[in-house]
Copies of this chain bind each other. A is one copy, B any other.
Amino acid sequence: MNTLFDDSIADGEPDATQLILTDIQSGMFQPGAWLKQIDLEARYGRGRNEIRRALDRLAQKRIVEHVPNRGYHVYQADGKQADDIAEIRIMLETGIVPKVVANATAGDIRNLRALANRFESLILHGTVLELYEANLNFHRAFMQLSGNGELDSVIAELRQRTSSAPVSQWKTRARVEQSAREHHEMVDLLERRKPDKLKTLIENHIRQR
């Protein structure tokens, strides 16, 4: 569950921002696609106002791009930006490793193992979006062991900024399976308290190589 735009009161009425974002992340709206207000209105059954507010919020987060009087388009990050964002994620996710290693209890490690298993099992029977969410959940749970409550929102935002189409993140089946293996390896290294090896693994995991 994506909690960055958690403005919904009950689960029966999710915010339009979240709906549009999900459609972008699922690949429904490709990078560069024109998000016409009337179409969104019809698609989600929401008023013009809510759609406009949602688009403005997504534009603030640089998930969509806004050109005055010409509408909103799904943002497409170029290679340089993707690399820069990966670099920032590496600094943060490796930077907190010492604290994670220090804080992780046996229960935490069991929980992480479960999340890694869930990701692995979804390779076969899950949708792309479910896979994306499961991956997010694993990394989130890992980060939260740092005890830094702000880190989550920062990294969540960074992720969204690149992976406008997270579909393209795991191009091949082999790559997804390697990600799953690396998740397990991360848990192993955490259990064996090897911060340095963990750091290099995370770096390679984020760089996808």
Question: Which residue of chain B lies nearest to A161 when distances are taken between CB atoms in the complex?
Answer: B150
Across the interface, do B56 and A88 meet the contact criterion of CB distance under 8 Å?
Answer: no
Q: Which of B62, B88, B92, B161 is A148 in contact with, Cβ under 8 Å?
A: B88
B-facing mask of A33-75, CB < 8 A → 1, else 0?
0000000000000000000010011001110000000000000
**Distance between Cα atoms of A34 and B153 in the complex (Å):** 25
The stretch of A19-27, A77-85, A120-128 that contacts the partner chain: A77-85
A88-B154 contact, Cβ under 8 Å, with A56-B57, A57-B60: yes
Q: Which of B56, B84, B92, B153 is A91 in contact with, Cβ under 8 Å?
A: B92
Q: Is A201 an interface residue (CB 8 A)?
A: no
Nearest-CB distance from A14 to chain B (Å)?
16
Q: How many residues of A contact B (CB 8 A)?
A: 24
Q: Is A151 an interface residue (CB 8 A)?
A: yes
A85-B150 contact, Cβ under 8 Å, with A60-B60, A91-B92: yes
What is A's interface to B at a CB cutoff of 8 Å?
53, 56-57, 60-62, 80-81, 84-85, 87-88, 91-92, 95-96, 148-151, 153-154, 158, 161
Beyond A81-B149, A150-B161, A154-B154, list 16 extra A-B contacts (CB 8 Å): A53-B53, A60-B60, A60-B61, A62-B153, A84-B148, A84-B149, A84-B150, A84-B151, A88-B148, A88-B151, A88-B154, A91-B91, A91-B96, A92-B92, A95-B95, A154-B158
